[in-house]
A and B are shown apart, each in its own frame.
Chain A
């Protein structure tokens, strides 16, 4: 009897914690919808901010974030997948392997503001790239890299050993086995992880604050060495630094909503991809 009571209580508590997660997400989304929806319009997405940011839209920030994400994919995915392939397929124990593994974990634990400052010191100053799209992309790639590596390594390890043995037994070289059998089988998992990592990076403010983001640019970026506006930073400056920040509440919420939808849609794509892969996977 006693035991059943505890069982019941445990079940209720655990369900509550699970429910709380949904509740928080629901509350955030609902709040942003109510506050931000009035700001949304065609013009909001297609025009520049005007009159000290109290009017107009978020076009340059949207485009800037798009460029940052695309650049981050281009750099962090090949590098991350390469590292993951080495870790899971080539590395055979030893100090070097341990060092890389510790490095990946440490990198994943570094606070994003530290990446921002490192980017400022290294890419912006030391390499002389200046505050630019390129510096921002490189900094965000560092942030996304450990996540991409971990996801890709997990996906590679989930590929059954029998596939590798099958390929090796036919006389495949390690690289042939990897690129003809192992990588294709792991691809859905790798893509899912990469999308999640880049989605996460897209919402970060700290890494781009000193490396790429501009308070305002009068035109869209034309070269990788241009400064860019970006959604998270735009939101930050509108809420804290703009001259009439109390007049721009609805624009701030609209921007927050746009950022949230952008990031969540990435998660959605990742989820769909994963579901599709699971349906088609038969080993």
Chain B
């Protein structure tokens, strides 16, 4: 199969100053199946970038390349380059632990550990060697505040994380990711398991977070992409069809396939 590299012009309307990720001709394979096809894009720092597209378009896979979490799947292989801080993160010699400290992740279904609220948030710092009750308390409080959860849980930090509602659990997972002070937060359809009220809270949080973090959020919900993101990429069958500032992509799509998707001709 011939790999068709996307023209670089898709990036021209994205702010060019020091992007967080530079993705160059990224292809991804599960065994012989090609899931991502030569994706090239810059993901800007301190902005929310939405990756949208129908199920099976490769958007979750794309996210899992950015922190190399795909490696756990046997037979998975990525080619091309993804640059972060001057390092190609696809380089097999790269220290994945260091990468994942920089690039946090929040999953589709809230997945707190079966531990207390405190221990969930303190998990990351602890495995990276932070010791001392006071230091950890400070980190935990800061992360919970950043995730807009502190006021709801400050009196029950020792309770099980499973005592929280679904939306609270998801914010706890966000706090857990923030506690290791990443630069980037990857979010894989973080609200798909939540009710509308909890979803609204998470979306508000995502916008706030972009002041200090680079956020890459995968969603199949168009409105969500429109509401929370500064830039939107549209993926279809593993191909980057269009990538533009969100408003532009939603109001003046360049590619007929984007328009079809936006007008609900397929989903």
Q: Give chain A's interface residues, CB within 8 Å of chain B.
A: 92-93, 160, 162-173, 176, 180-181, 184-185, 281-283
Are A93 and B100 in contact (CB-based, < 8 A)? Answer: no
Residue B177 interfacial (CB < 8 Å): yes
Q: Which 3 A-B pairs rank lowest in CB-CB distance, beginning with the nearest?
A: A162-B111, A171-B100, A169-B105
Collect the chain B residues with CB atoms within 8 Å of residue A181's CB. Answer: 113
CA distance A168 to B177 in the complex (A): 11
Given A162-B107, A165-B111, A180 and B127 touching (CB < 8 A)? yes
Q: List 6 A-B contacts (CB under 8 A).
A: A165-B111, A166-B173, A171-B100, A171-B180, A176-B127, A283-B162
Chain B residues numbered 137-184 whose CB sits less than 8 Å from any CB in chain A: 160, 162, 173, 176-177, 180
Interface of A is mostly: helix
Q: Is the CB of A172 within 8 A of B74?
A: no
Q: Is the CB of A170 within 8 A of B162?
A: no
| Chain B contact residue count (CB 8 A cutoff) | 29
> With an 8 A cutoff between CB atoms, is B53 at the interface?
no
Interface bits B174-211 vs A (CB < 8 Å: 1, else 0): 00110010000000000000000000000000000000
Q: Is the CB–CB distance between A169 and B74 below 8 Å?
A: no
Contact of B97 among A171, A281, A283 (CB under 8 A): A171
Within 8 A of A (CB), among B95-134: 96-101, 104-105, 107, 109, 111-114, 123-124, 126-128
Query: Are A282 and B69 closer than 8 Å at their CB atoms?
Result: no
Shortest distance from the beta carbon of B128 to any chain A beta carbon, whole Å? 6
Asked whether B69 lies within 8 Å of A169 as measured between CB atoms, the reply is yes
Given A93-B74, A162-B109, A168-B72, A180–B114 Cβ distance below 8 Å?
Answer: no
Could you tell me the distance in whole angstroms from the C-beta of B90 to the nearest C-beta in chain A? 17
A233 to B52, alpha carbons, bound, how many Å?
A: 70
User: Hey, which chain A residues are within 8 Å of B107, CB to CB?
Assistant: 162, 165-166, 169
Binding site for A on B (CB under 8 A): 67, 69, 72, 74, 96-101, 104-105, 107, 109, 111-114, 123-124, 126-128, 160, 162, 173, 176-177, 180
Smallest CB gap from A185: residue in B: B114
Q: Which chain B residue has the least Cβ–Cβ distance from A93?
A: B74
Expressed in whole angstroms, the Cα–Cα distance for A181 and B97 within the complex equals 17
B104 near A282 (CB under 8 angstroms)? Answer: no
Q: How far is the CB of A166 from chain B (nearest CB, A)?
A: 5
Verify B177–A171 contact, CB threshold 8 A.
Answer: no
Using known A-B contacts A165-B69, A180-B127, A282-B162, determine if residue A171 contacts B101 with beta carbons closer than 8 Å.
Answer: yes
Per a CB cutoff under 8 Å, which of A163, A169, A173 touches B177?
A169
Of the residues B74, B114, B124, B173, contact of A171 by C-beta under 8 Å: B124
Chain B residues near A171 (CB-CB < 8 A): 96-101, 124, 127-128, 180
A163 close to B67 (CB less than 8 A): no
| Measured CA separation A46–B106 after assembly (Å) | 61
Task: Give the docked Cα–Cα distance between A171 and B162 (Å).
Answer: 23
Q: How far is the CB of B187 from chain A (nearest CB, A)?
A: 11
Residues of A within 8 A of B180 (CB): 170-171
Tell me which residues across on chain B come within 8 A of A168, comparing CB atoms: 69, 72, 100
Measured CB to CB, the nearest residue on chain A to B108 is A162
How far apart are the CA atoms of A163 and B109 in the complex, in Å? Answer: 11
Q: A168-B69, A176-B127, A185-B114 are in contact. List 12 more A-B contacts (CB 8 A).
A: A93-B74, A163-B114, A165-B72, A166-B176, A167-B113, A167-B127, A169-B100, A170-B100, A170-B180, A173-B97, A180-B127, A283-B114
- Asked whether B114 lies within 8 Å of A170 as measured between CB atoms, the reply is no
Contact present for B104 and A169 (CB under 8 Å): yes
Bound-state Cα–Cα, A188 to B90, Å: 39
Inter-chain contact A184/B127, CB cutoff 8 Å: no
